[in-house]
Amino acid sequence: MNGETWKQKDRQYIAGTYGRFNVCLAEGKNATCIDVDGKKYIDFGSGIGVNSLGYCDAGWVTAVTKQLGRLQHCSNLYYSTPDIELAHRLCGLTGYDKVFFANSGAEANECAIKAARKYSFDRYGGKRNKIITLVNSFHGRTVTTLSATGQDVFHQYFFPFTEGFEFVKANDMDALTAMLDDSVCGIMMELIQGEGGVVPLEREFVAGVAELCREKDVALIVDEVQTGVGRTGKLLACEHYGIRPDIVTLAKGLGGGLPIGAVLFREDYAKVMGTGTHGSTFGGNPVVCAGALEVLNRVADSDFLAEVEKKGIYIRDKLAGIKEIDGVDGLGLMLGVRLKTKQAADAAKACVANGLLILTAKTKLRLLPPLTITKEEIDQGIAVLADVLK
Ligand SMILES: Cc1ncc(COP(=O)(O)O)c(C=O)c1O
């Protein structure tokens, strides 16, 4: 079957919730992939920030397949070793005390929201249950994480939404302080708003929020689903901001291509999530965790992280030479490209037609390439982009 036939079948049998680009992928290696008709693409998106070690990295494939041949699933009623090893490594590298494993970013955020509410319930009673999030944020597609997402466009059709979320403009410390009354148990935010357009928060605001949360014993939840696991050139984007939240959520790049979500807890928050408070049939899957451990071991290396930073600078330098580009936002290999005259969606479509997979976020082109992307792959991708933006 050729690409057109596959696409027709997709439209016939798969629920039409996704607006897909006109490409049907078959295989890949690092940041290069091939569609079912044999056409080659450079992937500047790594899925959407998922294939952190690129397509089919040899070490990751070995870790996953080795585990696949031993034990593919183990109920959370029993102990198994890959999730323990991964949690041990995550805690060792980040300084957090305990981990809960979920299957996606939204699920990780659901768990974080529950933990913030449970902590507050245990200490202060049920009336202290609101969570403040930021305007223009994105936290997931479940009903509760949609409710937490600070964009009106996501608050349609699916009523009733979960109660207890309020939104404040990013970097507006006065508004946040005014909103933080005795009904608030948590503040949740991305440090670089990803889906919102690759918008980094201001340092003083983030420091102020962290300080306020500490003062009021309000949970600081940082959603690092997109920014975490080396994406910004540090293991956690929190390190750029010098903060230590109570709870950090991870997903996307942690699994290297298999579904995972992880919630990192400071001890006080881990403690309130006792037996029966939360769970997941698939959470902590041994195959997924074996792959994630390989990702983590590779990404946490300081030389690897330095390379991510260097590649980010290399890409920025190259982009600076393209006239149509107005500027670049973001950190490390999480980049938002502002265009002067063209629409990002049109440019992305033209890039795909010419062999470059690239994402958009609001009005910007968005780059989340594999952290392992080579200089040659960057050059090839930028050449397509430069051509499209001529
Ligand atoms: C910051 C952030 N949080 C949460 C999510 C939701 O993750 P998932 O799609 O894995 O549920 C995303 C997905 O784009 C995200 O960027």
* 321 CA distance to ligand 1 middle (Å): 32
By C-alpha distance, which of 196, 199, 192 is closest to 222?
Answer: 192
* 151 CA distance to ligand 1 middle (Å): 14
According to the 3-state scheme, what is the secondary structure of 80-135? Answer: CHHHHHHHHHHHHHHCCCEEEEECCHHHHHHHHHHHHHHHHHHHHCCCCCEEEEEE
CATH annotation of 71-299: 3.40.640.10
Q: Residue 295's pLDDT is what?
A: 98
Cα(138)–Cα(156) distance, integer angstroms: 15
Give the residue extent of every domain in the chain: 3-56+302-388, 71-299
For 294, the enclosing helix (H) or strand (E) is helix 286-299
- The finding on whether 82 has its CB within 6 A of some atom of ligand 1 is no
Can you give the pTM of this predicted structure?
Answer: 0.98
* 376 CA distance to ligand 1 middle (Å): 30
* 139 CA distance to ligand 1 middle (Å): 6
Verify cis geometry, omega within 30 degrees of 0, for the bond prior to 160: yes
CATH fold match for the domains 3-56+302-388 and 71-299: no
CB 259 within 8 A of CB 224: no
Cα(283)–Cα(99) distance, integer angstroms: 11
Mean pLDDT score, 223-242: 98
Cα–Cα distances (Å) from 47 to 30, 253, 285, 361, 370, in that order, read 12, 10, 21, 14, 9
DSSP string, 188-226: EE-SEETTTTSEEPPHHHHHHHHHHHHHHT-EEEEE-TT
Ligand 1 atom 9: residue of nearest CA? 105
Q: Residue 152's pLDDT is what?
A: 97
> What are the residues facing 86 on neighbouring strands?
none
- The finding on whether 43 has its CB within 6 A of some atom of ligand 1 is no
* 259 CA distance to ligand 1 middle (Å): 12
Cα(382)–Cα(290) distance, integer angstroms: 34
Q: Residue 276's pLDDT is what?
A: 97
Q: Residue 344's pLDDT is what?
A: 98
* 323 CA distance to ligand 1 middle (Å): 32
Ligand 1 atom 8: residue of nearest CA? 105
Ligand 1 atom at minimal distance to the Cα of residue 194: 16
Q: Residue 100's pLDDT is what?
A: 98
Mean pLDDT score, 359-368: 98
Cα(99)–Cα(32) distance, integer angstroms: 33
CB 300 within 8 A of CB 371: no
| Model confidence pLDDT, tens digit, residues 135-171 | 999 999 999 999 999 999 999 999 999 999 999 999 9
Burial class (CB in 10 A: 0-12, 13-18, 19+), 34: middle
CATH annotation of 3-56+302-388: 3.90.1150.10
> What are the residues facing 187 on neighbouring strands?
132, 220
Q: Residue 38's pLDDT is what?
A: 98
Q: What is the mean pLDDT of the chain?
A: 98
| Model confidence pLDDT, tens digit, residues 289-346 | 999 999 999 999 999 999 999 999 999 999 999 999 999 999 999 999 999 999 999 9
Mean pLDDT score, 256-274: 98
Q: Which long-range contacts (C-beta less than 8 Å, at least 24 apart) are formed by 17-20?
A: none
- The finding on whether 194 has its CB within 6 A of some atom of ligand 1 is yes
Q: Residue 316's pLDDT is what?
A: 98
Catalytic residues: 138, 223, 252
Ligand 1 atom at minimal distance to the Cα of residue 227: 1
- The finding on whether 149 has its CB within 6 A of some atom of ligand 1 is no
- The finding on whether 223 has its CB within 6 A of some atom of ligand 1 is yes
Mean pLDDT score, 349-374: 98
- The finding on whether 366 has its CB within 6 A of some atom of ligand 1 is no
| Distance from the first to the final alpha carbon of the chain | 35
Which residues have a Cβ under 8 Å from the Cβ of 224 and sit 6 or more positions away? 190, 191, 236, 237, 238, 248, 249, 250
CA atoms within 13 A of residue 261's CA, in its CB half-sphere: 22
* 249 CA distance to ligand 1 middle (Å): 10
Given pLDDT bands bounded at 50, 70 and 90, which one contains residue 77? very high
CB 141 within 8 A of CB 155: no
- The finding on whether 140 has its CB within 6 A of some atom of ligand 1 is yes
> What are the residues facing 371 on neighbouring strands?
none
By C-alpha distance, which of 386, 387, 381 is closest to 46?
Answer: 381
Q: Which long-range contacts (C-beta less than 8 Å, at least 24 apart) are formed by 79-83?
A: 80/284, 80/286, 81/286, 82/284, 82/286, 82/287, 82/289, 82/290, 82/293, 83/284, 83/285, 83/286, 83/289
- The finding on whether 370 has its CB within 6 A of some atom of ligand 1 is no
Ligand 1 atom at minimal distance to the Cα of residue 107: 11
The Cβ of residue 167 has, within 10 Å, a number of other Cβ atoms equal to 18
| Model confidence pLDDT, tens digit, residues 25-41 | 999 999 999 999 999 99
Given pLDDT bands bounded at 50, 70 and 90, which one contains residue 178? very high
DSSP string, 343-359: -HHHHHHHHHHTTEE-E
Mean pLDDT score, 259-287: 98
Mean pLDDT score, 112-127: 97
Ligand 1 atom 7: residue of nearest CA? 105
Q: Residue 146's pLDDT is what?
A: 98
- The finding on whether 246 has its CB within 6 A of some atom of ligand 1 is no
